Amino acid sequence: MKYIVEHYNYWLVIIIMMAGFYTVISRGNLIKKIAGLNIFQVSVFLLYISIGNVKDGATPIIEEGITLYSNPLPHVLILTAIVVGVATTALGLALVVRIKETYGTIEEDDIHNQDQSL
Amino acid sequence: MIESAVDITLLSLIAIHAVAIIRMRSLFAVIMLFGGFSFLSAGLFVAMDAADVAFTEAAVGAGISTILMLATLALTYAHEDVQKEEKQPTHKPWLPLSVVLITGGMLIYGTSDIPAFADPNAPAQKHVAPYYLKKSLPETGVPNVVTAVLASYRGFDTLGEVTVIFTAGIAVLLLIGGRRKSKIPFETRSNKE
């Protein structure tokens, strides 16, 4: 029981992570693939923030009378990661638009079929 | 107790959103669910004391990402196509499912080594974090430790981050910017070439 209480957070985050991973590798639609990639990304953020969390800790904004804070360093890392993540999402979606213009479809199977016929 | 109740509720809702995204075939619904997913995770960040991350996730993850995806949907599907659905998958799901289950199993096995969730004595909490919590206010004058580290101690890293975004912006412009939309439909174009 104690083991479950200490680790349930990580397990749920890993389940979400695997949901994103499954979307990426099993779905052929490119927009949906990018949504899956984003789910994966957000779950990694959740894992990092879980590691920085401290029981009964406060948000790391220094205030008199508070002694216990959560770890601010994962927060800094993830702030950077979120912004870089949106940059990669934008790039991926731009590639999707470009693929649509060239192939006329964003379904992976159709794209493979067209490439073989060339 | 109340904290773990909030934690479990939000995580379960997020997991339900993720599973719904897998199952939904209407792309508009997928994108809207993704917005809800991001917003719920922003709520979870607040519950886990990461206010700055929550702000960024709500603005950038739930806001800008969703808008970018909607814009892509508008550009890639015809106006007349009201459904905007993805095609029925042709492959059997067993191979990806087994890959995912094996990876997930290994990751869950790996968590047995991670210190307990929210443990104040975990190594991550004892190394450099106390230094920043103690010194950042006298050294930088910024009460928010995350801002102090991001903009002062690690200011050059943030500059590097700006470079990354700039590069991505240039790449997006090179891929789809500054061209007039081709009037020739795809099928006839390939015949001419």
Task: Confirm if A35 and B34 have CB atoms less than 8 A apart.
Answer: yes
**Set of chain B residues whose Cβ sits within 8 Å of the Cβ of A74:** 50, 124
Q: Where do the domains of chain B lie?
A: 1-87, 120-181
* Interface predicted TM-score of the whole assembly (ipTM), two decimals: 0.90
CATH code at position A73: 1.10.287.3510
Tell which A residues from 99 to 118 touch B, by Cβ distance under 8 Å: 100-104, 106-107, 109-110
| Total number of domains in chain A | 1
For A28, the domain range is 2-117
- pLDDT for the residue B169: 92
Cβ within 8 Å of residue B103, ≥6 positions away: A18, A21
| Residue B26 phi, psi dihedral angles, 5° rounding | -75, 120
**Set of chain B residues whose Cβ sits within 8 Å of the Cβ of A38:** 34, 38, 61, 65
Residues B21-32 as b or e (16 or more Cβ within 10 Å = b): bbebbebbebbb
Cβ within 8 Å of residue A52, ≥6 positions away: A70, A71, A72, A73, A74, A75, B48, B50, B124, B125
Q: In the numeric block, which tokens belong to residue A91?
A: 């790039």
**Set of chain B residues whose Cβ sits within 8 Å of the Cβ of A40:** none
Q: Encode B90-104 in three state secondary structure.
A: CCCCHHHHHHHHHHH
pLDDT above 50 (res A51): yes
What is the nearest CA distance from A47 to chain B, expressed in angstroms?
10
- pLDDT for the residue B192: 45
Measured between alpha carbons, how far is A101 from A111 in angstroms, rounded to an integer?
Answer: 12
Task: Confirm if A61 and B147 have CB atoms less than 8 A apart.
Answer: no
- pLDDT for the residue B78: 76
Closest Cα in chain B to A54: B118
For chain B, 193 residues long, give each residue's pLDDT as a single digit of tens.
Answer: 788 889 899 999 999 999 999 998 889 999 999 999 999 999 999 999 889 999 999 999 899 999 999 999 988 887 777 777 877 777 788 899 999 999 999 999 998 888 888 888 888 888 888 888 888 888 888 889 999 998 889 889 889 999 999 999 999 999 987 765 555 555 555 444 4
Q: Is A31 on the interface with B (CB under 8 A)?
A: yes
